[in-house]
């Protein structure tokens, strides 16, 4: 890959792992070589380098809602483009069990604020005892008043307003990952 891109092995490693100090032109050459040979980075190796699992969770409130299949597909597409894997659950209880059962770390969980049976902030609180290092990003299409009533502001949980564009979602997930 390095010889195909005309760069060092270290540059390939830094570009593939998203290190921001790589010159943009060199990164483009590396990614062109990656595409040409059909290389798929090893997610476990990337996790070791980055200190992150490269795993995202998504819990939707109602899979039959016409908005959610599109959101799930877009979320998975964006995650794969960024080198992540995705776990998906259709209800809060299923998501809680999914997070408990998954053997490795989960970097970020994206969940609805308003869900039947358990709110996103309540779910985040319950998961805090099981997955203390996992960050939570709540989403909602409801008004600010509803968000306040469901405890997002009091819990200081990261939030994104629906409808969500791919760029907004990518940016917000990155912000959540980089936050202390």
Which strands make up the sheet holding 158-161, listed edge to edge?
85-89, 55-59, 108-112, 135-140, 158-161
Q: According to the model, what pLDDT value does residue 72 have?
A: 78
Residue-range domains of the chain with CATH: 2-39 (1.10.260.40), 49-178 (3.40.50.2300)
Higher pLDDT, 105 or 147: 105
Q: What is the pLDDT of residues 3-16, one digit of tens each?
A: 899 998 888 887 87
The total of other beta-carbon atoms located within 10 Å of residue 82's CB is: 13
* Distance in angstroms (rounded) separating the CA atoms of residues 10 and 150: 47
Q: Confidence band (pLDDT; 50, 70, 90) for 118?
A: confident
- Predicted pLDDT of residue 6: 92
Whether 110 and 56 have beta carbons less than 8 Å apart is answered as yes
Mean pLDDT of 136-142: 83
Contact call for residues 41 and 83 (beta carbons, < 8 A): yes
pLDDT for residue 31 is more than 80: yes
The structure tokens listed for 79 are: 């995650």
């Amino acid at each position: 890959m390095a010889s195909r891109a005309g760069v060092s092995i270290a540059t390939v490693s830094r570009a593939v792992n998203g290190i921001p100090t790589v010159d943009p032109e060199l990164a483009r050459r590396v990614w062109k070589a990656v595409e040409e040979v059909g290389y798929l980075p090893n997610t476990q190796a990337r996790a070791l380098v980055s200190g992150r699992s490269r795993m995202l969770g998504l819990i939707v409130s109602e899979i039959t809602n016409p908005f959610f299949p599109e959101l799930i597909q877009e979320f998975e597409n964006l995650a794969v483009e960024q080198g992540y894997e995705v776990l998906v659950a259709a209800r809060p209880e299923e998501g809680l069990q999914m997070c408990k059962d998954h053997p490795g770390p989960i970097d970020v969980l994206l969940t609805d604020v308003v869900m039947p049976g358990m709110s996103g902030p309540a779910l985040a609180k319950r998961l805090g005892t099981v997955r203390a290092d996992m960050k939570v990003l709540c989403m909602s299409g409801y008004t600010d008043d509803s968000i306040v009533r469901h405890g997002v502001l009091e819990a200081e949980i990261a939030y994104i307003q629906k409808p969500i564009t791919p760029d907004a979602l990518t940016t917000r997930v990155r912000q959540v990952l980089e936050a202390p």
